Copies of this chain bind each other. A is one copy, B any other.
């Protein structure tokens, strides 16, 4: 199975008054991991983000994330449907998993503005990340 990971250095303004990284920031980091993963699949020009819409996502907070230590956001699985792509993600700080995420994206025909079957070349690439 192929692996994809992004390293994120927490920023001070991403903390909140509870002293840890705010939960909405984690949702934003998950977008960073997803978008870079999609770009890595060979839809490499930034505009390719426009080919996908986010249908839903879920985040489980396993442990707090803190300022002062890098976070590694790993894509831990990816599954294709007809036009949908489910992406699993784990974030680790040090040796601890702090976050588990799951997002469902839909591949769009941007000219017709409706869902479009994920092309075969992309299915093959995603298959290498199947959990």
Contacts and interface: CB of A to CB of B under 8 A. Distances in A.
Interface string A10-47: 01110111111011110110111001000000000110
Interface stretch (A57-65, A75-83, A85-93, A121-129): A57-65
A59 B57 CA distance: 6
Secondary structure at the A interface, as helix, strand, loop or mixed, is mixed
A57 B13 CA distance: 16
Instruction: Give the bracket for the number of chain A residues in contact with chain B.
Output: 20 to 34
A24 B16 contact: no
A75 B17 CA distance: 24
A24 B17 contact: no
A121 B15 CA distance: 29
A84 B16 CA distance: 22
18 contacts: A12-B16, A12-B17, A12-B31, A12-B32, A12-B35, A12-B46, A12-B49, A13-B16, A13-B24, A13-B25, A15-B16, A17-B20, A18-B50, A24-B28, A24-B30, A46-B67, A55-B61, A58-B58
